[in-house]
Structure formats: C-alpha cells, structure tokens
C-alpha cells in the first residue's frame, strides 16, 4: 500500500484498470500463485476470479507459459496459444522489483484470432497497393532519354558527352550550363539513366515556376492536416519522391534568394522536414542542376548565394550553343527528319542542299530546340519529298539573301557545305540501313529513292556491312 501511495493512484482506480472488461489479464507471483485474475477471463476459463486467485497457475491454466517467464525473466510477445480449441495471442512479461523477479503478467491481445487475421490481411493488401503505386511512380518519374539520344559528334559536344558519361557513376552534384535549347534536360535524363540510380525516380523541379509560398510544400511535402487546404492524406515532396534517385533542379539560377537558403540546407543535411511532421526524414538523392544563366555573374551581383553555387558547382558541364557546333547541324537535321517523319507519317526524305546552306549560315539563338521546331514546321508544309527554302520561316530566307548579297553572318564555305550535305546524306543512308537491318530494298523505300541510287550512294560513301552493325557507335 505504501507503493500505491507513492504512485498516487487510488487503489480503486488501479483495481478498475486491472479488471477492465476488455483485457484478459493474469498476474502470478514468483511461486506461480495467481494474484490477479481479471473478470474478462471468467467465461474463457470457466472459473470465477475469486476461485482462481490464490491457486497455482497450473491448476487453473495447465498450459500457461507464465511459470517459464518467471523462471527465465524473459518476456514473450505475440505467442499464440490454444484455448478451448481456439487460438489466442498472448503477451507475457516478468515483473521485477529491485532487480529481483517477483512475478509475471500475462495479457491476452485478441480473444479471437479472426480480428487479427483480418487486420493482417488488410495490411497485406495495403502493402500490395503501395508496391503498385511505387511501380507506377517509377514509371511516371523514370528518365526518358539516354546518351544514345544525344546526337552530334563535334568535339565540343563529344567532350560534354564524355564528361557526363564518365561522371554519371559518381555521387557528385553536376551543374549543366548551356543556353536555352542546348540539351540540358536530355543530358540530365541521360546521366540518371547511366547511373546506378536508374531504377529509382528522376524528379524534375522547375525552380523558375514554383511560387515562393508553395516552395516548401512542393519540395519537402507535408503531413495530413498540416495547414488549411492541405490534402487529407498529406503529400510527399519532390525530395521524398527522389529518394534513392536523382533530383533535377532545372533553371536553378531563377530561384529567389530566400528559397536558396532553404534549398542549401537540404543539400547539406540530406534530410527534409515535411510541414507538420515532428521528425526530419533522411533522403538519399543525387543532384543535377541546370541553368542558362551565368551563375558566377549572379553570385557577383548578389542574386545567387555563393555557398549554394559551390555546393551545386562541384562538377560543371558546359553544353555548346548550336552556332559553335555547326558541323553537327546536318546530322541533327537528319536525325529530326527521321524522327519526325515517323511521328508525322510524312514521306519527306531529303533536305535540299540550299536549305542546309541556310541552316549552316543561321545563328540559331534557340539552339537544337529551334532546329527541331524548324524541321517540324518544314515537314508539315512540305508536300513533296524534299525540304526546300520555301518551307522555312521568313527569318531564315532572309539569312540566305543577307549572306549571299552582303556576306554578313558566318560566310558559307563551299567545301563546308559540300561536306555537310555529304555527311547528312551518309547519316541518313546509314540510319535507313540500320533500321532495315541492312535490307537495301527496304532502305531505298524508306529513303524514297530508287534502288540503283541507293547502290550508287553506298558505293560513293564506302559503306560496308560493318558500318551498319551495332559495332560502330
């Protein structure tokens, strides 16, 4: 009674707890004598509590595991045990006083296993659902491009491609720098695809388009009921979705200063705190950032945090603007011709030399994306088999006149043009042969040329079977 006084629990309250009707509880002392037998047990053992108390546990429950717990001092949780032909789940644990075992408690968790089995079943179903959603998320957030989709063989592009391929396997952050339309997004996908994280998500965050007030909930997520208007289920943030994968911070140079601090913290700590959650969560991610801005300049002018810049700029890869890799224009134009032909079910199969000349003279402020768009427009307009200058936008036709009459813009060298057309034609031929598995009749049909022309070109470009196999690139 002294102990009870010390606990300040009135004895009748304690009694009510021990004897509550929802729990079957048995307490024995170190001699195995029943000291407490809650009334919930009465119908199960067909003995009244007052009859049970004072008797040895084995007399009342012959199979009880409680004497063993007193003996070993070790608890047993979740044991199933048979009672009148029905299984029940029991937790048993020793009670100690001053390091000495003075007895043991047995508590029945489920009088009826049915409830337990139903719960287990439900959990199994939920686990399946989670697995299904994980697969779906992986599908939604997988990388869509690999290095095979990066077209071009200029030294500058190759340099970038080689570096990216080599660094894909490392865990370091990578900063992709390049003007709009130079392939930063393609590169980010390809790096993820070539890394050991390829089977996990690739999550793109457009730093230029997240409203400040939503930044934290978008990136770090929130728990159910974190704020009014929050989803009931809570929402995972982008970082959480990127767990074990790659997070691609696109247009990172546009991120407002206030948010840069928050981003830096996550990159340093590698943990997030979802709004409304009491605990931070460790996240394993790789960062790829991209910008078309001169970030160093932004740092100097105070628009970009120096510490964040250093954190992102561990390795930087510069993607060349198209005007600096003009030798790639023919092969890129040829690539888009092939790709768009298929998509648009067009029968256009060639690009007139004049068009290629204009392409080579043009400045391409929109880079590869602009080339892709121009090709798409031309294919849509072209009724015949060859793209002609008339299928190009106004501004392009002016390039031709300008460069022809006044010699401004990069001058078109006849040799270069010849080479370019040569290259484009050869690449188209190779692509057609590859896609038809070397079948010349089919390749000729694909290119919309006569078989004899095809033979002539194969000879002209010295194409050998080995060139069309997969051994080449």
Binding residues for ligand ATP, rule: CB under 6 A, are 149-152, 178, 180-186, 292, 368-369, 372
Question: Which CB sits closer to ligand ATP, 217 or 291?
Answer: 291
User: Computed from CA positions of residues 262, 266, 269, 272, in that sequence, does the dihedral angle turn out positive or negative?
Assistant: positive
CB of 322 to Mg ion, least distance (A): 15
- By C-beta, is 288 or 432 nearer to Mg ion? 288
Task: Please report how close the Cβ of residue 169 comes to ligand ATP at its closest, in angstroms.
Answer: 21
Residues 348, 383: contact at Cβ < 8 Å? no
Minimum Å gap between C-beta 366 and ligand ATP is 8
> What is the rounded end-to-end Cα distance, in angstroms, of the chain?
87
Q: Which is nearer to ligand ATP, 178 or 245 (CB)?
A: 178
Q: How far is the CB of 443 from ligand ATP (least distance, A)?
A: 22
Binding site for Mg ion (CB under 5 A): 184-185
Residue number, nearest CB to ligand ATP: 183
CB-nearer residue toward ligand ATP: 96 or 144 = 144
Residues 270-293: b if buried by 16+ CB within 10 A, e if exposed:
eebbbbebeeebebebbbbbbbbe
Q: b vs e for 70-105, b when ≥16 Cβ sit within 10 Å of the residue's Cβ? A: beeeeebeeeebeeeeeebbbebbbeeeeeebebbb
Query: Is the CB of 251 or the CB of 423 nearer to Mg ion?
Result: 251
Q: CA nearest 386: which of 345, 338, 350, 344? A: 350
- Whole-number minimum distance, CB 157 to ligand ATP, in Å? 6
Residue 292: name its binding partner from ligand ATP, Mg ion, none (Cβ under 5 to 8 Å by kind).
Answer: ligand ATP
Task: Indicate the DSSP class of residue 169.
Answer: T
The one of ligand ATP, Mg ion, none whose footprint includes residue 197, by CB under 5 to 8 A per kind, is none
Residue nearest to Mg ion (CB): 185
H or E stretch at 96: strand 86-97
Q: In which element (H, E) is residue 377 found?
A: helix 367-381
Minimum CB separation from ligand ATP for residue 364, in Å?
Answer: 11
Burial of 257 (0-12, 13-18, 19+ CB in 10 A): exposed
Residue closer to ligand ATP by CB (options 34, 150) is 150
Least separation in angstroms between CB 248 and Mg ion: 9
Q: Which does 321 bind (CB under 5 to 8 A by kind): Mg ion, ligand ATP, none?
A: none
- DSSP code, position 363: -
Please state the closest distance from residue 346 (CB atom) to ligand ATP, in A.
18
Residue number with CB closer to ligand ATP (151 or 432): 151
Q: Of the two residues 184 and 238, which places its CB atom closer to Mg ion in the complex?
A: 184
**Of ligand ATP, Mg ion, none, which one does residue 182 interact with (CB within 5 to 8 Å by kind)?**
ligand ATP
Question: How many whole angstroms separate alpha carbon 380 and alpha carbon 357?
Answer: 21
Report CA dihedral (235, 237, 241, 244) to the nearest 10 degrees: -130
Least distance (Å) between residue 292 CB and Mg ion: 8
Comparing C-alpha atoms, which of 308, 297, 307, 300 is closest to residue 255? 308
Taking CA atoms, 382 is separated from 240, 378, 390, 431, in Å, by 47, 6, 9, 22
Looking at the Cβ atoms of 187 and 285, the one nearer to ligand ATP is: 187
Q: CA triplet 268, 190, 334: central angle to 5 degrees?
A: 150
């Amino acid at each position: 009674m002294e102990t009870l006084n010390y606990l300040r629990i009135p004895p009748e309250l304690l009694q009510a707890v021990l004897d509550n009707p929802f729990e079957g509880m048995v307490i024995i002392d170190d001699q195995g004598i029943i000291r407490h037998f809650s009334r919930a047990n009465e119908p199960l053992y067909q003995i009244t509590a007052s009859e049970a108390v004072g008797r040895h546990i084995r007399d009342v429950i012959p199979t009880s595991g409680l004497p063993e717990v007193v003996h070993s001092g070790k608890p047993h949780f979740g044991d199933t045990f048979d009672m009148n032909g029905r299984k029940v789940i029991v937790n048993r644990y020793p009670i100690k006083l001053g390091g000495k075992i003075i007895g043991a408690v047995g508590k029945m968790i489920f009088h009826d296993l049915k409830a337990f089995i139903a719960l287990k079943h439900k959990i199994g179903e939920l686990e399946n659902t989670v697995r299904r959603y994980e697969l779906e998320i992986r599908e939604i957030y997988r990388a869509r491009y690999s290095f095979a989709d990066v077209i071009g063989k200029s030294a500058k592009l190759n340099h970038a491609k080689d570096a990216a391929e080599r660094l894909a396997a490392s865990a370091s952050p990578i900063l992709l720098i390049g003007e709009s339309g130079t392939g930063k997004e393609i590169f980010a996908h390809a790096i993820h695809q070539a890394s050991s994280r390829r089977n996990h998500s690739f999550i793109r965050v457009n730093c230029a388009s997240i409203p400040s007030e939503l930044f934290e909930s978008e990136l770090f997520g929130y728990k159910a009921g974190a704020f009014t208007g929050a989803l009931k289920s809570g929402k995972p943030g982008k970082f959480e979705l990127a767990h074990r994968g790659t997070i691609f911070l696109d247009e990172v140079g546009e991120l407002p200063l206030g948010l840069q601090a928050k981003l830096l913290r996550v990159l340093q700590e590698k943990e997030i705190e979802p709004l409304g959650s009491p605990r931070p969560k460790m996240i394993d991610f790789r960062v790829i950032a991209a910008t078309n801005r001169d970030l160093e300049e932004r740092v100097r002018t105070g628009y970009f945090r120096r510490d964040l810049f250093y954190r992102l700029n561990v390795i930087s890869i510069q993607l060349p603007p198209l005007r600096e890799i003009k030798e790639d224009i023919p092969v890129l134009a040829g690539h888009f011709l092939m790709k768009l032909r298929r998509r648009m079910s067009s029968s256009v199969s060639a690009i007139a030399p004049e068009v290629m000349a204009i392409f080579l003279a043009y400045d391409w402020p929109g880079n590869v994306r602009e080339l892709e768009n121009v090709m798409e427009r031309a294919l849509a307009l072209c009724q015949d088999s060859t793209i002609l200058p008339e299928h190009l936008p106004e501004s392009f036709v002016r390039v031709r006149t300008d460069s022809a009459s006044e010699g401004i813009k990069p001058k078109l060298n006849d040799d270069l043009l010849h080479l370019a057309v040569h290259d484009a034609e050869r690449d188209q031929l190779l692509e057609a042969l590859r896609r038809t598995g070397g079948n010349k009749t089919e390749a000729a049909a694909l290119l919309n040329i006569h078989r004899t022309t095809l033979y002539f070109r194969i000879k002209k470009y010295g194409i050998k079977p080995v060139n069309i196999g997969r051994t080449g690139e």
